Amino acid sequence: MAKSPWVWGMKMKRIVFAQERVVELWDAECPAPEAGQIRGRTAYTAISAGTERANLIGAPVGPRTAVNVFPKYLGYSGSGIVAQVGEDVTDFQPGDRVALRWCSHSEYCTLPKENAALIPDTVSLRDAATAFISTFPLAAVRKARIELGESCMVMGLGILGIFAVSYARMAGAYPVIAVDFDEDRRALALKLGADYALDPRMENFAERVKQLTGGVNAVIEVTGNGAALNQALSCTARFGRVALLGCTRTPTEVDFYHDVHLPGITLIGAHTAARPTRESYPCYWTEADDLRTALRLMAAGRLDTHEIIGEVHAPAEAPEVYRRLLEEKKFPLGVLFEWERA
């Protein structure tokens, strides 16, 4: 039997992409947890701007992916309080503070217990809401296998790229070069550990990168833009690695012979799904491993989220928040929904 008096579904609010470019706050029901599940009362959820913008406009992820299927329930990184546990769950109990992975933007969520991790006492629910989204660049940095003193370049400084800068520095990369069009994001990257921050539109960009590094050993490509990938390849050292974290949603032309084959470049698929689901082995950590790692680094003060979280909104403000996401050229870096205000 469930270890709680609540065994029925629970009414809740949920942010829904009702149709293309239309966001609404719906009433929904959160099911009671079954064996091996927990139900959490959500505290905060984090927006993943690139992914959610693409889904809201129905952008394709390559020719084989169906799009424009609505309604959609986005969101995947959050935090909350355990409200109820299902049968056979001993890892958690009601009242525990947990970071959540693959939780949608909703007031409650019912998830497998493996999708939650206890939050250290020194980490706030607000900060922990970004823990899972930070594991996407963490996985990319792991896959790039950066060795102490190797150079690393991060292409694109959205929330994933900013976290990638921090993780690359922690991995021992030197120098860490942060690349973005936006001057404020370049300044933040420098504050959070980048050694250099460059505008990709600068004249002789590749030559400047090579002057700083002799050719970059590892690139974390976050933009998903074909032009950025080609620019990254032009800067990469012989036998270097390029981790493809950003989702490339349009066809991309690459001169594989001259830019990949001849110089011995390794292209690494670094989508978050390119991780084992259950058991870790060297260089291939699970999502659950990475989530616990991110929380420990936050608790130790080595992963700074205070500069990254820019705005916190009530769920009722979601239509306006997503309008801005679609229309503003400079959407804030880290945006959260606070579900106590639902």
pLDDT in tens, 147-170: 999 999 999 999 999 999 999 999
Task: Identify which of 164, 159, 129, 128 has the alpha carbon closest to the alpha carbon of residue 143.
Answer: 164
The reply to whether 197 and 324 lie within a common domain is no
| Percent of the residues in the chain that have a pLDDT greater than 70, as a whole number | 94
Segment 40-85, tens digit of pLDDT: 999 999 999 999 999 999 887 665 665 578 999 999 999 999 999 9
Segment 279-331, tens digit of pLDDT: 666 667 899 999 999 999 999 999 999 899 999 999 999 999 999 999 998 89
CA distance 169 to 152: 9
The reply to whether 111 and 235 lie within a common domain is no
The reply to whether 111 and 169 lie within a common domain is no
| Phi, psi values for residue 226, rounded to 5° | -60, -40
pLDDT tier, 7 (very low <50, low <70, confident <90, very high otherwise): very low
CA distance 251 to 254: 10
Q: Specify burial of residue 183 (Cβ count, 10 A radius: 0-12, 13-18, 19+).
A: exposed
- Is position 144 within any domain? yes
248 membership: H or E segment, kind and range: none
- DSSP single-letter state for residue 261: I
The reply to whether 252 and 177 lie within a common domain is yes
Domain containing residue 228: 134-269
Q: Which residues of 145-167 are buried (b: 16+ CB within 10 A; e: fewer)?
A: ebeeebbbbbbbbbbbbbbbbbb
Segment 99-129, tens digit of pLDDT: 999 999 999 999 999 999 999 999 999 999 9
Task: State the total domains in the chain.
Answer: 2
- Is position 337 within any domain? yes
The reply to whether 141 and 231 lie within a common domain is yes
The whole-number average pLDDT for the span 204-217 is: 97
The reply to whether 210 and 112 lie within a common domain is no
The reply to whether 152 and 238 lie within a common domain is yes
Q: The pTM is what? A: 0.93
CA distance 103 to 110: 8
Number of residues that make up the chain: 342
The whole-number average pLDDT for the span 214-238 is: 95
| Phi, psi values for residue 271, rounded to 5° | -60, 150
